[in-house]
Chains A and B, each alone.
Chain A
């Protein structure tokens, strides 16, 4: 079953631009214009929820729902952004989320790329069977083994600790799969040359593979960061103490308690989105490249 579960790997970073030299230039220009307008329209539609979120976060509660909707607040209530920090322990939630997301992404990339080197560039008995086991578990929904996992964690005394979520999410099969996929695109000749030069396998991984796989590391790191930051169910099950809560849990409880404080809830939502969007925008170029051209370096 492994033979065809291929990750989308690009061989060619070129786009299929309609480059018909026989096409009359005027018609092509009209088509390009129509195309851009269509995209811009779709883009606006997709961004509506964000506009709503930001605009509501700058209103008073009773101004959020008006008929017709005010997309630009009549009066900007910036104080929402000052008040939220005293209404809920937002800072503590952000700190918890950041701690978990950074730790888990780091461990995923570290152990994932290490294992991926073993799977991609070393040959030893049992390797392919082991990889098949990894691959098969990607298609198993977490909920199918979440109860026994919980029981194991409880026996280990790790329920209601940050360590539980770190252990649960740091050793994902997907990370190994993604990194291995990338490593396979790095020519074996390079590694052979390094071996002839006397580099140990560990140093090949550290000195050659890691630097070459920067886009793949960015993709895996970002995907893991985003997934951990946005995870609700894991923390929801494992963290009962308020001081362990992540942004998602904190925001959710805020919604439950003050469900009419629309503006404040939107303020909290915007704040919960900002860090992860910042991380994404910073790594965005590497990231899209990492997924989109993970067949080629650079």
Chain B
């Protein structure tokens, strides 16, 4: 693995080397004091983080092996929750839908946001306006996004289908009212919403690539595609990796947009794992079963994240 200036823990050794000798004091005080100071900085955040993130994570793991409802005492039941989960057809449908959403959302978002970043990564008039315009969907209220897209996708008189009919599609899809087209509709709306955020991240990455590399390549006669392939893509690798991880996590936990746009329907066509966790856990009070589903979601995301780390490392070793 290469160590770049931005890597996470690279300045620490340098800092230790440069630290001036501390004023004479007792040996114990000298070793304890930096520790206490360090912890005092982290503590305010850590207290909240530990109590409300770390503890629930561990607690959740235990919970998935327990039968626990608001009406009874917790009881250790081993793998019963998992057996029940694997027998439920809704679980398999939600698992499939989550994967479907991620498989559509991740590549589309990355291609669109990288494309926009490439288009905007140059000096042109109105640059600020364009950047703001493309970022605007990301700051838009979620419910507003969902409702507007539902209206745009209206099967009979929405502008999307009017346009499709105009260009000659005689039987345009019913979008959110059709089991086959509801998920693509949700994916389109979500890509529209998220692309601006990842675009800014890609723009930042593009600006770390030294301009001289492009000039040198141009002198050597490399065409636009070759420059993109041999300079831009490798130069963007840390950014792409970061974006990929953030986008993966975001995709697998999708909930808000789906609940407001389709509420998992029509039928179970867009029901995703997060929604199932909410329904089983909070609404039905089956905490154990919901935690078992949570564990599947966690394993899924962790698996993909680790896979991306492995691929990333493999690429760098070459």
Contacts and interface: CB of A to CB of B under 8 A. Distances in A.
- Report whether over half of chain B's contact residues are helix, strand or loop; otherwise say mixed: helix
Interface string B148-183: 110110101111001000000000000000000000
Which 6 A-B residue pairs are closest in the complex by CB-CB distance?
Answer: A118-B41, A171-B48, A124-B38, A141-B253, A269-B144, A111-B45
A145 B253 CA distance: 12
Interface string A123-152: 111111011011101111111111111111
A25 interface: no
Given A8-B242, A147-B282, A148-B63, A3 B7 contact: yes
B147 interface: yes
Given A140-B301, A144-B60, 14 more contacts: A2-B7, A9-B208, A11-B5, A13-B207, A16-B214, A20-B218, A69-B159, A111-B45, A114-B45, A137-B53, A188-B15, A280-B136, A291-B200, A291-B204
A43 B130 contact: yes
A123 B15 contact: yes
Given A124-B38, A255-B147, A168 B298 contact: no
Interface string A153-187: 00000000000000110111101100001001100
Given A140-B301, A147-B63, A277 B139 contact: yes
Contacts of B122: 15-18, 35
B132 A281 contact: yes
B44 A53 contact: no
Interface in A48-80: 48-50, 52-53, 56, 64-69
B151 A52 contact: yes
Nearest to A44: B133
A1 B309 CA distance: 8
A139 B281 CA distance: 22
Contact of A17 (B38, B44, B123): B123
Interface stretch (B84-92, B103-111, B254-262): B254-262
Interface string B31-52: 0001101111110111111011
B298 to A, nearest CB: 4
Interface size bracket, B side = 35 or more
- Report whether over half of chain A's contact residues are helix, strand or loop; otherwise say mixed: helix
Contacts of B226: none
Given A4-B238, A147-B281, A142 B144 contact: no
A118 B38 contact: yes
B305 to A, nearest CB: 5
Contacts of B253: 141-144
B45 A112 contact: yes
Interface string B86-126: 00000000000000000000000000000010011111111
B311 to A, nearest CB: 11
A82 interface: no
B141 A184 contact: no
A134 B49 contact: yes
A244 interface: no
B264 interface: no
A141 B249 contact: yes
Contacts of B16: 123
A226 B138 contact: yes
Given A121-B15, A181-B6, A192-B19, A133 B54 contact: yes
Contacts of B154: 65
Given A4-B312, A237-B282, A248-B142, A148 B59 contact: yes
Of the candidates A16, A151, A231, the one having the most CB atoms from chain B within 10 angstroms of its own CB is A16
Contact of B294 (A20, A68, A143): A143
Given A8-B239, A114-B45, A152-B59, A184 B18 contact: no
